[in-house]
Amino acid sequence: MTGVAIEAHGLGKTYGRGGGHRALHDCSFRLPAGRVCALVGPNGAGKSTLLNLAAGLDRPSAGSLTVLGSAHPGDVRDRIAFVSQDKPLYPQLTVADTLWAGAQLNPGRWDRATADRIAGALPDKARVRTLSGGQRTRLALALALGKRPELMLHG
Looking at every residue in the chain, the average pLDDT score rounds to 93
Q: Give pTM, 2 decimals.
A: 0.85
* Total number of domains in the chain: 2
Residue 103 burial by Cβ neighbours in a 10 Å radius (0-12, 13-18, 19+): middle
For residue 44, give its domain range.
4-83
CATH code at position 10: 3.40.50.300
123 within some domain: yes
Segment 89-114 shows an average pLDDT of 95
Contacts of 88 (CB under 8 A, 6+ apart): none
Q: How confident is the model at residue 86 (pLDDT cuts 50, 70, 90)?
A: confident
Residue 64 identity (one-letter amino acid)? S
90 within some domain: no
Query: 22-80, pLDDT tens digit by residue?
Result: 899 999 999 999 999 999 999 989 999 999 999 999 999 999 999 999 999 889 999 99
